[in-house]
Amino acid sequence: MREIIFDTETTGFDPLTGDRMVEIGCIELINRVPTGATFHRYFNPKRPMPASAQAVHGLSDAFLADKPIFGTEVEALLEFLGDSMLVAHNARFDFGFLNHELKLCARPDISLDRMIDTVAMARAAHPGAKHSLDALCTRYGIDRSHRVKHGALLDAELLAQVYIELTGGRQIGLGLGEDAASPEIVTIAPSFDAPQRASRAPRLFSPTDEEKDRHTAFVAGLTNPLWHLHGKETA
């Protein structure tokens, strides 16, 4: 099973008001294990970078000035994504910007059916807790000390570790395979020819009159039996 963890950085919050994607970082997982394959690009948004956005990711107009526009990298991106499921944190935000950029290139949207949102997964797994990427890294003991500012590839790498924890933890990468989940049932036959015996009807055992008389005499000879103490103190 192939999945892509991805993250974006943008000039703001809403592509419908002119904000653009300036960075995308993608991590490939096969059976929930990172393969080492990545896709990472910066894009020139062809508009000024707001100071508030630059404070988040550190990407300035000067840094992005010589970077390609999204349209020149779209084919390479789509080839990397393939038809895999796409995992993102607060995924509707990233899908919104990705599909907006695709629309500007006259490319079809990526279906939301391919979307996996780790925020929704975290809310289901840890109701009432904080669900930011930083909070989930802290919860799962994932080192984020090198995360000074947001970065698409760095955040995708951290999110890949969070996603693995949300879907079962590190033990899923032990390579047990599908066969281990459904072991073959083995029937062991006896190594000898067991004799075939005819079954017989069960026998019923009832006490004889003599046994009943002996039991009555035995009970009569008991000293202070417990059933005679009913309603009295026993201590």
> Is residue 71 within 8 Å of 104, Cβ to Cβ?
yes
202 assigned to some structural domain: no
> Is residue 15 within 8 Å of 100, Cβ to Cβ?
yes
61 assigned to some structural domain: yes
**Model confidence at 100: pLDDT above 60:** yes
Structural domains in the chain (count): 1
**Hey, how many other C-beta atoms are within 10 angstroms of the C-beta on 10?**
27
- Residue 173 has what pLDDT? 45
- Residue 203 has what pLDDT? 63
**Model confidence at 69: pLDDT above 80:** yes
**Model confidence over 149-199: pLDDT tens digits?**
789 999 999 999 999 999 987 654 444 444 444 333 333 344 444 455 556
217 assigned to some structural domain: no
Q: What percent of the chain has pLDDT over 70?
A: 80
185 assigned to some structural domain: no
What is the mean predicted confidence (pLDDT) over 206-232?
76
- Residue 184 has what pLDDT? 38
- Mean pLDDT (the chain, rounded): 86
Domain span at 91: 2-170
> Is residue 142 within 8 Å of 123, Cβ to Cβ?
no
pLDDT band for position 218 (cuts 50, 70, 90): confident
What is the mean predicted confidence (pLDDT) over 212-233?
73
Q: Which carries the bigger pLDDT value, residue 189 or residue 215?
A: 215
70 assigned to some structural domain: yes
Q: Which carries the bigger pLDDT value, residue 235 or residue 41?
A: 41
Find out whether 155 is annotated in a ligand binding site. Answer: yes
**Model confidence at 145: pLDDT above 90:** no
73 assigned to some structural domain: yes
100 catalytic per annotation: no
56 assigned to some structural domain: yes
The CATH number of the domain holding residue 95 is 3.30.420.10
User: How far, in Å, CA of 7 to CA of 20, rounded?
Assistant: 14
Find out whether 94 is annotated in a ligand binding site. Answer: no
Report the predicted TM-score, pTM, of the whole model to 2 decimal places.
0.71
Which residues does 45 contact at the CB level (< 8 Å), separation at least 6? 11, 20, 21, 22, 64
Find out whether 233 is annotated in a ligand binding site. Answer: no
Q: Which of 89, 131, 150, 215 is catalytic?
A: 150
233 assigned to some structural domain: no
Find out whether 19 is annotated in a ligand binding site. Answer: no
